[in-house]
Structure 1
Amino acid sequence: MSYPHLVTEAERAIETPDDEDEATEERSAEPPPRGRRRIAVLVGVAALAYALDLVSKLIVVARLEHQEPIDVFGTVLRLEVIRNKGAAFGIGEALTIVLTVIAAVVIVVIARIARKLYSTPWAIALGMLLGGALGNLTDRVFRSPGVFQGAVVDFIAPTHFAVFNLADSAIVCGGILIVVLSFRGLDPDGTLHRD
């Protein structure tokens, strides 16, 4: 005849430390709840940045190309259409294909990071980078003189600075935000780390 094992008060009080350690390890092995992934935020910000860049370039090419520059704030800021085959400051004009490949790689890297993206600030930063990269990539692929040789439309011309567009602005702002988030210790998966 067997008797059910009853746990007495004394047996509960005598739990071994190994049992407690195992329970603690099991609890700590579980990933902390992080909420929902922020892919929708990333896609929304990217779509907005891309749309603003695309629409602004269409308007500028249709209305300002082959026209005199327009002064917006005296001589400090003007709108002037320039076709740029290179990177910032016209550097690397012979490297249009290389710049196209770099933009495509950036897009692939952002897509890979998006799989474990739980941080809203990171989603915004990566969305700006993605939208800007897509905007300039569209120019390089579809604008004249030909596929993968296209010149990017730049039109915002501050005095004594490079002429740029809204895609460039989104890329720079996204990059600055990534640097700030990294210095603050926030990772794309929403966790904080201290170095």
Structure 2
Amino acid sequence: MEFILEPWPWYISGPLIALVMYLLLYFGKTFGMSSNLRTMCAIGGAGKRTEFFNFNWKAQRWNLVVVLGAIIGGFIAHHYLSNPTNITLNPTTVESLEHYGFANSGKSLIPDELYGLDALKSIKGLAILILGGFLVGFGTRYAGGCTSGHAITGLSSLQRPSLIAVIGFFTGGLAMIHLIFPLIF
């Protein structure tokens, strides 16, 4: 018997996200993945060198469970719940991606040209990963949180700075894919 999985419909996943957010707000917690990096640095002793990491990280231990759950959930979803089928992409998109050097457009969720081990072996691939990581880290710190923190927690608690940050995230993403991405590839 073959078990075919479909994504959860919005009327299941949406209310579950809302329930989790309600519980976090009720218990006075905020959700965000980037804050976990600060917590891990504080656990490692970075507070001895930099004041930013000198805080009560034990109060944030619960949030590390979120990271562990994301890692375990991603592994389970990829290895046991994924249906390895082609992705339906617009033929114009496939042609455009092939023009940039992506050979298997629509054959996998992530392109090997960016995320495969061969990308680490080239100067260009390594530079993209390092520069991209730096820019994401800088942007996260500058915006006071990451996309999940602002878009899920910030917007659900009606914070104006989160709305501005989310607009900035999407504007930056559109600028990246339409203006900078063609220059890189």
What TM-score, normalized by structure 2, do the two folds share?
0.26
Indicate the structure (1 or 2) with the bigger Cα radius of gyration: 1
Q: Which has the higher contact order (CA 8 A, sep 6+)?
A: 1
Q: Which structure has greater strand proportion? A: 1
